[in-house]
Structure 1
Amino acid sequence: MILSIQFMTMLAMVLGGFYLGIALDTFRRASPHWKNSLFLIYFMEIGFWFSQTLLLFYILYRVNAGELRFYVFVAVLLGFAVYQALAAAAYKKLLEHLIQFTLSVYHFLAKLINMLLITPIIFIFTLLFSAIAYTIQVLFIVLLTISKVLLAPFKFIILLIYNFLPESIKNYFYKIAGFYSTMKNICKKWLKYITSKRR
């Protein structure tokens, strides 16, 4: 391996180690979100280290065709140590500021969408439902009034016929009406009893 390629390999691996420190701190900052699941802890840890190993090897492959030497591991550790010594504290503060900024933007957008989109849609649907319910109520009252008007002559004729009926037939109708009223009251009492028991 020529000297220039070795130098490029060293530089790439130092930068790779520096990046690995950034990626590890970012991963550790996000890890509390899955700390309650043992499966997710193992899955995320294995996935993180596997993906970072593949990435570093890909960088190495692009620089020197994937030739592993002892100094490659030393360079990665050196880059990681440089990050921990010089940039870890600053990056963690920057990461927290970025997270807070992202959350602030998210909450602002959520409130804006709720105010400009969701709330008007709910208001329109509520208004539409109220209008439909009111229209149905008005139509029901109109139909009920029309039916009363149309049935009024028949009611008058039935009452007129009823007045000319013999007393025995009238008494029969009285008995039927009394039986119907009794059954209606019994059903109401049973329904009230069942309702009170359920409560």
Structure 2
Amino acid sequence: MTSLSLQFFTMGMMLLTGIGLGVIFDGYRVVSNELRFPRWSLPVLDLVYWLAASLLVFRVLYASNYGEVRAYVFIGMLIGILSYYWLLSKPVIRIVKWLIEAVRALIGFSIRTFDLLIVKPIILLYRFIRVLIGFGTALTIFLLKIVLQLIRPFWLLFRFLLSPLTRLLWRWLGPHVAKLKFKERWDKIISSVIKLWRRLF
């Protein structure tokens, strides 16, 4: 590539680089305004942008003419930046804002879909299970009361028929049971548990 061709090629690359830097700067500016970054982070983000821009310019310049800095390099970049802000800045800003709104709408739609398809069915299933368990418990208690009421006459009759035998057994076992002192031992166990509880807590 001749020297003149290399200069025009480098100038064209710098022009495209200037346009690219304008696009990135407008995108960064719109995103920072829309997302409302904290003020303390803006200087840091500005520094990151300019470091990245410098690295991009150096990389393109090195790929174009091995890093030689000439006046046409700055002219090409200046033309690219001015052309961008004259012709493309407003459309790019509108596109970036539209993309941000599209992403927000997509996130909102995803959240609503997740809530509708996952969260609400789980809540409804949980409530249904609670109602089902409550109904089952009430029905079980009701049936148990009916069964107990039906069994009670037979139990009373059975106890009445066995009362002579139980009296006889108690007369025979009563003295032996008294010797075992179940009540005193139970009281001691309860007292020991209470003392241990008070020591620990």
Which residue pairs with 1:27 in the alignment? 28
CA separation of 1:147/1:59 partners in 2, compared to 1, >3 Å: closer, same or farther? farther
**Are the aligned partners of 1:13 and 1:60 in contact in 2 as well (CA < 8 Å)?**
yes
**Structure 1, unaligned runs of 5 or more:** 158-199
Structure with larger Rg: 2
State how far apart, in whole Å, the 1-side matches of 2:149 and 2:63 are: 91
Percentage of pairs with the same residue: 26
Closer, same or farther: CA 146–99 of 1 in aligned 2, 3 Å: same
In structure 2, the CA distance between the partners of 1:70 and 1:138, relative to structure 1 (3 Å rule), is farther
Distance 1:111 1:7, change over 3 A: same
Q: After alignment, is 8-17 or 100-109 more displaced?
A: 100-109
Show the counterpart of 2:62.
61
Match status 1:49 vs 2:35:
no
**Corresponding position: 1:123 with 2:162:** no
Report what 1:187 is aligned to.
none
Q: Quick check: 2:17–2:77 contact (8 Å CA) kept in 1?
A: yes
Unaligned runs of 5+ in 2: 160-201
TM-score normalised to the size of structure 1?
Answer: 0.61
- Does 37-46 or 94-103 show the bigger shift? 94-103
Q: Is residue 102 of structure 2 the alignment partner of residue 101 of structure 1?
A: yes
Structure 1: which 4+ aligned runs deviate by more than 4 Å?
A: 133-154
1:81 aligns with 2:82: yes
Q: CA deviation at 1:65?
A: 2.7
TM-aligned CA deviation for residue 136 of structure 1 = 5.0
Question: RMSD between aligned alpha carbons?
Answer: 3.3
Residue 132 (structure 1) shift: 3.8
Contact map agreement 1:34 1:40 (CA 8 A) in 2: no
Matched, 1:17 2:18: yes
Return the TM-score normalized by structure 2.
Answer: 0.61
CA contact (8 A) 1:34 1:41 kept: no
Report the count of equivalent residues. 157
